[in-house]
Amino acid sequence: MSALPPPVPQPDPVQRLHASVTRRSEVDYLFDFWTALGWTILTCGIYSLYVFYRLFWRSVEHNKRRLEVLDSARLLGWQRANELGMGESLTPRFQALGAHLEELRRLSTEFREPAIWTIIAAVSSGVGQIVGYVFLDLDLVRHERAEHAAELELAAIFDALGVPMATPTSHPDKGRHNYVGRIVATVATLGIYVLWWVYDLMRDGNEHQRRNWASDDALWTTASTFAAR
């Protein structure tokens, strides 16, 4: 009988967390609306398809990165909880955290392939772009709610473990855009209103990512404290 293959080594959660925090320089893209508008005018509108692609790409990759950040922190907290004999008492917290992370995982499996959505936008006479804008906004609303709830659970867990971390800054929940109103405005202005819609999508994403960077730094500081003990 042949020997069983050796188990696949699991990455250390501290290393995973560091890698996912560092990756924000690659995927947390910040848009400049006026630069994008300038290139769109110079290319007779062609550049707008690249902007559309990047909006989807940023949404997808940022969600994956943040899921990895939060899941790595979860594993780190679970390891330390068991080392301190607190795994059972903190299980309800970890279960609640897992439910919020599951929402981020569901987002990562939905049909949001940037290249395909860009092709749809290019061949659909603008209809695909409007549908895409709705999905981008809905995804950000879901992402923000799930990750903020997960961050609050992590803060409570780390506090119980004796390593308090900065509690995520409270901010008003991002509400959905008024899709019907925006579509009507787009039709009434012969498409000009789309520029304002794109501006809002860029701004909302930029502000969201900047808030996330503070959370990344707080989690990394906590992980470094654990690793030093």
Lowest mean pLDDT among 97-111, 149-163, 168-182, 190-204: 168-182
Q: Which helix (H) or strand (E) holds 68?
A: helix 47-83
- Three-class secondary structure of residue 174 per DSSP: coil
Judge whether 68 and 16 are in contact, CB under 8 Å. yes
Per-residue pLDDT tens over the stretch 95-116: 999 999 999 999 999 999 999 9
Domain boundaries, the chain: 13-24+31-228
0.85 surpassed by pTM? yes
What distance lies between CA 63 and its chain's CA centroid?
A: 3
State the pLDDT at residue 50: 96
State the pLDDT at residue 125: 84
State the pLDDT at residue 8: 47
- Please identify which residue in the block is written with the tokens 């899921």: 67
User: Residue 187 carries which side chain, given as an amino acid letter?
Assistant: V
State the pLDDT at residue 229: 66
State the pLDDT at residue 91: 95
State the pLDDT at residue 172: 66
State the pLDDT at residue 10: 61
State the pLDDT at residue 113: 96
State the pLDDT at residue 202: 97
DSSP 76-124: HHHHHHHHTT-HHHHHHHHHHHHHHHHHHHHHHHSS--HHHHHHHHHHT
- Please identify which residue in the block is written with the tokens 């994403």: 205
- Which pLDDT band holds residue 1 (cuts at 50, 70, 90)? very low
Per-residue pLDDT tens over the stretch 186-198: 999 999 999 999 9
State the pLDDT at residue 5: 53
Question: Residues 215-219: contacts with CB within 8 Å, 24+ apart?
Answer: 215/69, 215/151, 215/168, 216/21, 216/24, 216/69, 217/21, 218/165, 218/166, 218/168, 219/17, 219/21, 219/69, 219/70, 219/73, 219/154, 219/165
Judge whether 104 and 143 are in contact, CB under 8 Å. yes
pLDDT-above-90 percentage for the chain: 79
Query: Closest by alpha carbon to 136, among 213, 202, 184?
Result: 202
Decide if pLDDT at 9 tops 60. no
Decide if pLDDT at 6 tops 60. no
